[in-house]
Amino acid sequence: MNAQLQNRTAIVWGGAGDIGSTTAKAFADAGAKVYLAGRTEATLAARAEEVGAAGYGVVDILDEDAVVAFVERVVAETGSLDISFNVADRGDIQGQALLEISAADYNQPVLRGITGSFHTARAAARQMVTQGRGVVLALDSGSARGSAPGMGGTSAADGALDALVRDLAAEVGPSGVRVVGIWTAGITETFTAEKFERVVGTRLPEEALAGILANLDELRMTKRSPRLKEVADTATFLASDGAGAITGTWLNVTSGMYPS
């Protein structure tokens, strides 16, 4: 076990998902006490045991009172909150042209995404400011930098989160708190036919899914999509003292989907 995060406490919001659980394990392996938060207890309990988490909580991050209460519980149990990472699902709906998509479907990831990110980042940052230390991490696709048809509200949601990271970092930086984001432009290991159906509303044949994943690889400078472990390792580094001079920015972990 490396000791990058020894004596740190972390909350991973959306911790039962692929990105959340992989990162939670990386945090735990680096010495952190990790708590998972999410909406489904059975899944959380299984993931918590799997990654060696110190605990978990059933929390809807759209409910600010519930978010604050969970932060208070974690601090009461451990004495601090040093890392907060939100990767909770925001309900992106894609596959429709902007001339056809409903306003509700376009707005859903924007409103859900920025509301949940605001609640979790603010609750964590308030605690971190009182401590004089801490790191708030965020993740999105980075699609606000580019354009593509059929993305729905994803680019707008990413743009809102990009701005939140920069603005919050400027406010809390003098108190010793850092705020940093990670762009991924899609982690193909997490893509399944079931997940695509939830996003685009249509069940894809396996060969069609394979074609989409191959195309995503081809669009990148390295001709391979970022791996879950690479994203988790990046988050672990950003949460560590080794990244102490990095704040108010986004790391491009897209395997070169676009330059930054």
Indicate the domain borders of the chain. 9-186+227-252
Quote the CA–CA distance of 243 and 25 in Å, as a whole number.
19
Per-residue confidence (pLDDT) for residue 194, from 0 to 100: 73
What H or E segment, with its residue span, contains residue 218? Answer: helix 206-218
Question: Distance between CA 142 and CA 193 in Å, rounded?
Answer: 23
pLDDT reported for residue 229: 96
Residues 6+ apart with CB under 8 A from 148: none
Q: Sign (positive/negative) of CA torsion 99, 105, 111, 113?
A: negative
What is the rounded distance in angstroms from the CA atom of residue 120 to the CA atom of residue 20? Answer: 14
Q: Find out whether 93 and 109 touch, Cβ atoms under 8 Å.
A: yes
Which sign does the torsion angle of CA 125, 127, 130, 132 carry?
negative
User: How many other C-beta atoms lie within 10 A of the C-beta of residue 121?
Assistant: 23
CA distances from 136 to 86, 177, 235, 248 (A): 8, 8, 10, 10
Rounded CA separation 144/207 (Å): 29
H/E stretch holding 73 reads helix 64-78
Question: What integer pLDDT is reported at residue 193 of this predicted model?
Answer: 65
Task: List the structure tokens of 39.
Answer: 């909406």
Task: Retrieve residue 82's tokens.
Answer: 């040093």
Q: For residue 256, what pLDDT is reported?
A: 92
pTM above 0.85, yes or no: yes
**Per-residue pLDDT, 11:** 98
CA dist 201 and 162 (Å) reads: 27
98: left (phi over 0), alpha (psi -120 to 50) or beta: alpha
**What fold is seen in the domain 9-186+227-252?**
Rossmann fold (3.40.50)
Please give the pLDDT value at position 184.
94
Q: Which of 17, 12, 16 is nearest to 32 (CA)?
A: 12
Residues recorded for the chain: 260
- With b for 16 or more beta-carbon neighbours within 10 A and e for fewer, the 220-257 pattern comes to beeeebbebeebbbbbbbbbbeebeeebbebbbbbbbb
Q: Which residue stretches of the chain have pLDDT < 70?
A: 1, 147, 193, 195-200
pLDDT for the residue numbered 148: 75
Task: Point out which residues pair with 55 in neighbouring strands.
Answer: 35
Q: What pLDDT score does 95 carry? A: 85
